[in-house]
Amino acid sequence: MSAGTLVLYLQYLSLCGSLLTAVKLYRTGLYHRYRIFFCYFIFRVLNGIWPLCLNRRSEMYLRLWVISEPLIWMFYVGVVLELYKLVLERHKGLYSLGRWALYFGMALSVGLSVLSLLLRIKPAQRSRILPYILPADRGVTLSLAIFLLLMLFLLSRYPVPLSRNVILHATLYTVFFLSNTLGNILSGVFRVGLYDSISTGLMVVSCACVYSWLFFLSPNGEEVRMNIVHFGPEHEERLLYQLDSLNTTLLRASRK
């Protein structure tokens, strides 16, 4: 099987999985709890159709790709903040602090990624905005991956009870963004040589995440409460008290 044929199969597989996941979220009523996530999968379906209808080297393909990338970033930020809100739905103070930390970290990461390539941009480019897209994408995915890793560290440090669906989300999002970050870094290092292989690998990871959401998200997963790490009753009570105290302090500071 040629690389082009494999990529085409993966595109159809991703499109089908995204459509089935959106339908499942709607039919099970989970879209009420995961609104941005549901909208993101509808967008994935729409954004997965036009690449199958256009030549990848055409001007129209390039224009649509440039337009769609910032929309994808907005959905990335939205689904991560939605997940973060679900994780800390009982700790609004920590949620507000983390949200602003994410915004700051993302702006810093994107800015540094773009500035690092300013001196390397050649005068003759197919699109004036194209050289900025890849470093910006790298900055967005890297900052989100770091944010998710810090969130998983928080969950491993404090025994916050979460639904099985939320833990699944946190794990899959982390894998998804880390793979995208690694793919962007490798693309920047190896340039054209391994671009097709890296792109194919990213599509495989993306499809695996999509079908994991499709098969393992369920209404019952909202009822099952789990902790990532289990502690003894006394230790768990002390850690939760520390978390609640920090949350109360942040809420008071935000009201002043």
Helix/strand/coil (H/E/C) assignment for every residue in 49-110? HHHHHCCCCCHHHHHHHHHHHHHHHHHHHHHHHHHHHHHCCCCHHHHHHHHHHHHHHHHHHH
Confidence check: pLDDT of 93 > 90: no
Instruction: Tell me the range of 23-27, 63-67, 197-201 where mean pLDDT is highest.
Output: 23-27
Q: Distance between the two ends of the chain, CA-based, in angstroms?
A: 64
Give the pLDDT mean for 103-108.
Answer: 67
Percent of the chain with pLDDT over 90: 20
* Residue 159 in this model has a pLDDT that exceeds 60: yes
pLDDT value, residue 124? 46
pLDDT greater at residue 153 or residue 256: 153
Structural domains counted in the chain: 1
In which band, very low, low, confident or very high, does the pLDDT at 234 lie, cut at 50, 70 and 90?
Answer: low
Residues of the chain with pLDDT > 70, as a percent, come to 61
Count of Cβ atoms closer than 10 Å to residue 38 Cβ: 19
Which amino acid is present at 86?
L
Taking 70 as the threshold, does the pLDDT of residue 98 lie above it?
Answer: no
pLDDT of residue 135: 73
Give me the pLDDT at residue 113, please.
58
* Most confident among 149-158, 213-222, 223-232 (mean pLDDT): 213-222
Predicted confidence (pLDDT) at residue 171 exceeds the cutoff of 80: yes
- The encoded tokens of residue 29 equal 């009523």
Residue 181's pLDDT is what? 76
Q: Which is more confident, 47 or 234?
A: 47
- Its domain, for residue 226, covers 3-255
pLDDT of residue 183: 75
**Number of Cβ within a 10 Å radius of residue 190:** 12
Flag whether pLDDT at 73 surpasses 80: yes
pLDDT of residue 52: 86
pLDDT averaged over the chain? 76
Global pTM exceeds 0.75:
yes
- Whether residue 150 is predicted with pLDDT greater than 90 in this model: the reply is no
The pLDDT score that the predictor gives to residue 244 is: 62
3-state percent breakdown (helix, strand, coil) of the chain, nearest 5: 80, 0, 15
Specify the pairing of strand 225-226 against strand 162-163.
Answer: antiparallel
Average pLDDT over residues 139-160: 75
* pLDDT at position 123: 46
Distance CA 81, CA 216 (A): 21
